Amino acid sequence: MKKITLLLSALFIVGTIFGQLKYLPSKTIVIILGAQNTHIDFDQFSDITFYYTPELDKLYNDAESLSDATGMKDAMKLFKKNTSSSKQEEALLAYEGTNNVIYQKGLYKTSYLFDINGIVYGKFWGAGQLFVGSDNYLIKNKSQDSEVLKSLLKDLVKKEDTRKAGKIKKGKDYSWQPGYAPTLITVVDKDGNNKNIVELVKGNAATMLVFIHINSEFDPAPGRKSGEGKDPEKYKTDVAKTMTIDKQMKDLYNIEKNIYGKN
């Protein structure tokens, strides 16, 4: 019986680490575009540090943007599609400070790797693909050559590589480009303390930074329960909210599974 227990334990460990990258980010940061959803236990993602942008909550939770019950594949694309230019301008004017750059630069669909000095080392275009496996591409060089995520992490973690800071020409904005630092954006931690992204991405051999949107108001729990005895229309709405949250959180589960090897 003891041998069987040990064997099962060994199999569990192997199953747990299956898919884990050999070289891991020293720190993984996820910026939630909007306020914190208190219905979700973000502590379950033990390898991720979360920050939030509450002043952008109304913009990213725009009712028209959320009409796609399958999960907000691209919140801002829907926002632009369903909102007139004058309304977009009006919405943006409601949000003061440097966080407007999140909307203007479209950082919601881009992920980054930073070296120990807080310089962009790798940049991935497009959402929802980076964490499906280890053979997805990031842009590393000015020539737009691509390297796989696991190769970049090896360079950063094992070789302790850094990027040479690029030269800045007067009047040009190079922020968020490989070889340059990010924009000064203020975010808040789970306790509401202000943090600066520029400082957050410094001091670690390999910092991964990911921008995603998770609706701050939807409670996914009611839609997972039986609809027996409930109003059909309300239950349909509850299920749609659950589907939306599940789609929005997919990248978080993929990070834990395909980078850190956890289910």
Report yes or no on 7 lying in a domain.
no
The DSSP code for 56 is G
Q: Which two tokens stand for residue 15?
A: 């199953």
Q: What are phi and psi of 148, to 5 degrees?
A: -75, 155
pLDDT confidence bin for 17, thresholds 50/70/90 = very low
Report yes or no on 9 lying in a domain.
no
Report yes or no on 220 lying in a domain.
yes
Report yes or no on 3 lying in a domain.
no
Give the Cα separation of 25 and 63 in Å (integer).
36
The position carrying tokens 């028209």 is 64
Give the Cα separation of 193 and 183 in Å (integer).
19
Report yes or no on 189 lying in a domain.
yes
**pTM score of the predicted model:** 0.79
pLDDT tens column, 179-221: 999 988 899 999 999 999 999 999 999 999 998 888 898 899 9
Q: Which domain holds residue 29?
A: 22-258
Our count of domains for the chain comes to 1
pLDDT tens column, 37-66: 999 999 999 999 999 998 888 777 764 444
Report yes or no on 12 lying in a domain.
no
Residues paired with 120 in a beta bridge: 114
Report yes or no on 140 lying in a domain.
yes
Report yes or no on 6 lying in a domain.
no
Q: Which two tokens stand for residue 144?
A: 């737009």
Residue type, 66: L
